[in-house]
């Protein structure tokens, strides 16, 4: 079981407490403090209780490694335990349900080596009747998003609540040199990992059972702030360059361009045009290295490229997203409705 803390010790302690209520207790719980403030780190150390079974280890990085590299560090430490066959990742602002570990490990046991990773339902902590995410969906615009309905195709679990097999982690490390791409820092790093798994021939499992309640974006400030917007769009660009098969780019390329055009318009009308320029500038600066990695991955994923086609939800993007954007952006709302009159 792996958990990352960044200036949210209260949430991390709540998460650790929920894990200890599990029907199947983890053998090892590893926590990485990602360069939190001294006060937050001390709160974490002083508040962490010894586990009922197994061992609890708390590590600290003097630099914020982000979710991607922070997870890689914890995964490498966990897999030093030769008996460990499963890696469970859980956001520190989530509250685990009692059967989470038992349900996911049983699903992977039953599926065998071909699955590699599994996830299920996360609902909102503030309102447990509301869906937070049902995993990752990929739409006809080729844009990924949290899956909110069972009608949308399932690509794989989110990094905030997923179980990976040791065999999958070893395969990802062998092919790419990492499990999560450390250049992504945070956001879309789980989509990148899941798409690589699918392209390598794995079949991510979805268990339609509530596994955790999620507060959401406790470490990044919440909302669609510039930090989230920057990393989300930049990393999505990198994922497309590195992984998206040419056939899908040709088939859905116009919708992808439309999606980028709409995002540029959205940020421009919200007074963030300079942010948009920085996103595309920083993404394209590393174009050569991602193209080189695409070529390197080609031989490994060629046999399974067609599988990704079956994961695309035909809808342009997540249902209800436009309404959500308009509710949060008065400028866009006036622009959208004025353009229709």
Closest to 131 measured CA to CA, from 319, 323, 339: 319
Cα 35 to the center of its chain, rounded Å: 21
Residues of the chain with pLDDT > 70, as a percent, come to 91
C-alpha–C-alpha distance, residues 229 and 155, integer Å: 22
C-alpha–C-alpha distance, residues 29 and 14, integer Å: 14
Half-sphere exposure of 55 (CA within 13 A, CB side): 7
What pLDDT, on a 0 to 100 scale, did the predictor assign at position 339?
A: 47
What's phi and psi for 36, nearest 5 deg? Answer: -70, 170
C-alpha–C-alpha distance, residues 240 and 246, integer Å: 10
What does the pLDDT profile of the chain (341 residues) look like in tens digits? 999 999 999 999 999 999 999 999 999 999 999 999 999 999 999 999 999 899 999 999 999 999 999 999 999 999 999 999 999 999 999 999 999 999 999 999 999 889 999 999 999 999 999 999 999 999 999 999 999 999 999 999 999 999 999 999 999 999 999 999 999 999 999 999 999 999 999 999 999 999 999 998 655 445 568 899 999 999 999 999 999 999 999 999 999 999 999 989 888 888 889 999 999 999 999 999 999 999 999 989 887 888 999 999 999 998 876 665 555 455 545 544 554 44
User: pLDDT tens-digit profile of 228-287?
Assistant: 999 999 999 999 999 999 999 999 999 999 999 998 988 888 888 999 999 999 999 999
Closest to 87 measured CA to CA, from 147, 8, 173: 173
Helix (H, G, I), strand (E, B) or coil at 259: helix
CA distances from 148 to 12, 97, 114, 133, 262 (A): 25, 19, 26, 6, 21
Q: Cβ–Cβ contacts within 10 Å for residue 150, how many?
A: 12
Element (H, E) at 316: none
Give 58-125 as a 3 state SS string. EEEECCCCHHHHHHHHHHHHHCCCCCCCEEEEECCCEEECCCHHHHHHHHHHHHCCCCCEEEEEEEEC
User: pLDDT tens-digit profile of 273-327?
Assistant: 999 999 999 999 999 999 999 999 998 988 788 899 999 999 999 887 666 555 5
CB 27 within 8 A of CB 113: no
DSSP label at 309?
Answer: G
C-alpha–C-alpha distance, residues 327 and 323, integer Å: 6
What's phi and psi for 207, nearest 5 deg? Answer: -110, 115
C-alpha–C-alpha distance, residues 156 and 204, integer Å: 5
Estimate the crossing angle of helix 226-243 against helix 287-301, to 10 degrees: 50
What's phi and psi for 54, nearest 5 deg? Answer: 75, -160
DSSP label at 52?
Answer: S
- What is the pTM assigned to this prediction? 0.92
Closest to 25 measured CA to CA, from 88, 71, 79: 88
DSSP label at 165?
Answer: E
What pLDDT, on a 0 to 100 scale, did the predictor assign at position 269?
A: 85
72: buried, middle or exposed (CB in 10 Å: 19+, 13-18, 0-12)? buried
């Amino acid at each position: 079981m792996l958990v990352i803390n960044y200036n949210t010790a209260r949430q991390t302690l709540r998460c650790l407490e929920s894990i200890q209520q599990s029907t199947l207790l983890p053998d090892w719980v590893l926590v990485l403090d990602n360069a939190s403030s001294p006060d937050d780190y001390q709160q974490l150390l002083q508040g962490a209780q010894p586990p009922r079974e197994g061992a609890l280890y708390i590590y600290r990085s003097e630099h914020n490694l982000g979710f991607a590299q922070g997870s890689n560090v914890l995964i490498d430490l966990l897999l030093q335990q030769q008996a460990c066959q499963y890696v469970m990742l859980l956001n520190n602002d989530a509250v685990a349900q009692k059967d989470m570990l038992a349900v996911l490990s049983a699903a992977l046991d039953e599926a065998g080596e071909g699955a590699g990773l599994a996830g299920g339902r996360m609902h909102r902590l503030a309102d447990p009747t509301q869906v937070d995410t049902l995993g990752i969906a990929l739409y006809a615009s080729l844009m990924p998003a949290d899956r909110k309905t069972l009608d949308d195709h399932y690509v794989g679990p989110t990094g905030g609540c997923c179980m990976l097999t040791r065999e999958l982690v070893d395969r990802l490390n062998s092919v790419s040199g990492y499990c999560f791409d450390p250049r992504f820092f945070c956001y879309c790093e789980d989509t990148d990992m899941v798409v690589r798994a699918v392209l390598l021939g794995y079949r991510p499992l979805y268990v339609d059972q509530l596994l955790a309640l999620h507060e959401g974006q406790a470490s990044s400030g919440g909302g669609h702030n510039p930090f989230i917007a920057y990393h989300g769009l930049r990393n999505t660009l990198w994922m497309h360059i590195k992984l998206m098969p040419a056939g899908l780019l040709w088939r859905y390329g116009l919708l992808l361009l439309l999606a980028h055009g709409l995002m540029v318009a959205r940020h421009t009308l919200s007074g963030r045009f300079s942010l948009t320029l920085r996103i595309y500038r920083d993404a394209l600066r590393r174009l050569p290295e991602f193209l080189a990695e695409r070529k390197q991955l080609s031989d490994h994923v060629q046999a399974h490229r067609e599988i990704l086609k079956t994961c695309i939800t035909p809808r342009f993007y997540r249902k209800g997203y436009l309404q959500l954007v308009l509710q949060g952006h008065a400028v866009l709302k006036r622009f959208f409705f004025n353009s229709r009159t």
